[in-house]
Amino acid sequence: MKRRKMTAAAILLCIGLAVMHGCGKVREVKSEKLYLGVACYNASDTFLSEWTDSLRKEIEALDSEFDGAAVTIADAAGSQRTQDDQVKALIDSGCNVLCINLVDRADPSEIIDLAKEYDVPIIFFNREPVAEDMMQWDKLYYVGADAKQSGIFQGELAAEAILADSRIDRNHDGIIQYIILEGEPGHQDALIRTENAVDTLKSEGILLEKVGHGIANWNRVQAQNRMQQFIDQHQNKIELVIANNDDMALGAIDAYQSRNLTESSFPVFFGIDGTSVGLEAVREGVLAGTVYNDAKGQAEAVAKLSAALVSGTGMEDIAFTKGKCIYLPYSKVTADNVDEYINMK
Ligand code: GAL
């Protein structure tokens, strides 16, 4: 009797699956929950906190496509060991996709081993593992943006401003004295942005003299402190500040503002990200320009890929680079188009 019931259930299941396949819409069955375990390197990072807010919204919007959709976000506060433990806890709590923003992008092995053991696919985001690590398993993906493009765009924005306004070269020596404020050493967005911003300025014919270079780890307060030291050393010699992100550009502006210097002795500042505070500073005219790092687009891509991985449908609609990466484009923001970006937030 028991066996007959089981056979009937199996037949029904087969018919169900056949119908679903016939319609090509397995996802309508809603038998599966979507549960994302997100591990973030540091929740106090301005860009990343906007990024994870977007992801929450994207996942909430998928709720009706699944038998519920949920997200848990863990903050590693800058410790890789903490993150490894958090990933284990996320797997134990039943997540079926992991979204990992590595603390140390060169050290993903423990997380990859865990995910493999429990067969949970990983979407890395924002902090890109090296190519060799991405080959460790076929269920590893990356969503981010092309660091080189952001550096080139920042260099172009700065060159356009310098060529359009001779007052930027305040001492009229035909050379732009500049400072670079960099993100974490070893992060793809620090090294590559710096190199490409400077190379682009040079290739646009701008003569440059580097008067200082400081690491401020994406952080506004650290950038303010570094900039205060540069102001002490070089007084009003600095004409341009290139920062690897908006928060550090804003920290540099804070340093000038806290000195009560007249605005005519300020350099021009350029950031990258287009965070809400960054865009507001562009609108006010204190930040000359920024390069929009599309947090919303990246979060959308992660949500779409997660849904495809869990439902088993839709992978063919995703345009991958190198078979497993998705790179969203950057764009340039100045006072002329900043309102469009503010409205998109
Ligand atoms: C960069 C972003 C920075 C910071 C960093 C963290 O892409 O521009 O502001 O958030 O990622 O990994």
In angstroms, rounded to a whole number, what is the distance separating the alpha carbons of residues 21 and 46? 44
Specify the 3-state DSSP secondary structure of 291.
strand
Beta carbons of 64 and 29 less than 8 angstroms apart: no
Q: Which position has the token pair 């991405």? A: 134
Q: Which atom of ligand 1 is nearest to the CA of 101?
A: 12
Token output for 26: 């397995």
Specify the 3-state DSSP secondary structure of 97.
strand
End-to-end CA distance of the chain: 60
Compute the distance from residue 47 Cα to the ligand 1 centre, in Å. Answer: 6
Compute the distance from residue 28 Cα to the ligand 1 centre, in Å. Answer: 37
Give Cα separations from 316 to 4, 304, 305 (angstroms). Answer: 39, 12, 10
Compute the distance from residue 18 Cα to the ligand 1 centre, in Å. Answer: 46
Q: What share of the chain is helix, strand, coil (3-state, %, to 5)?
A: 50, 20, 30
Instruction: Give the CA count within 13 Å in the CB-facing half-sphere of 153.
Output: 23
Token output for 144: 């981010």
How many residues are recorded in the chain? Answer: 345
Specify the 3-state DSSP secondary structure of 104.
coil
Compute the distance from residue 171 Cα to the ligand 1 centre, in Å. Answer: 34
Task: Pick the closest to residue 323 from 148, 131, 146 (CA basis).
Answer: 131
Q: What is the pLDDT along the chain (345 residues), one digit of tens a residue?
A: 344 444 444 444 433 333 333 334 444 546 699 999 999 999 999 999 999 999 999 999 999 999 999 999 999 999 999 999 999 999 999 999 999 999 999 999 999 999 999 999 999 999 999 999 999 999 999 999 999 999 999 999 999 999 999 999 999 999 999 999 999 999 999 999 999 999 999 999 999 999 999 999 999 999 999 999 999 999 889 999 999 999 999 999 999 999 988 888 899 999 999 999 999 999 999 999 999 999 999 999 999 999 999 999 999 999 999 999 999 999 999 999 999 999 998
Q: Which atom of ligand 1 is nearest to the CA of 47?
A: 10
In angstroms, rounded to a whole number, what is the distance separating the alpha carbons of residues 90 and 343? 35
Indicate the pTM of the whole model.
Answer: 0.91
Q: Which atom of ligand 1 is nearest to the CA of 51?
A: 10
Opening angle at CA 36, ends 35 and 42, nearest 5: 150
Token output for 127: 């902090």
Token output for 187: 């992060």
Q: Which atom of ligand 1 is nearest to the CA of 127?
A: 12
In angstroms, rounded to a whole number, what is the distance separating the alpha carbons of residues 149 and 186? 18
DSSP state of 214: E
Structural domains in the chain, sorted by start: 24-145+295-313 (3.40.50.2300), 148-292+335-342 (3.40.50.2300)
Instruction: Residue 293: count other Cβ atoms within 10 Å of its Cβ.
Output: 27
Ligand 1 neighbours by CB, cut-off 6 Å:
45, 47-48, 126-127, 183, 187, 189, 218, 245, 272-273, 293
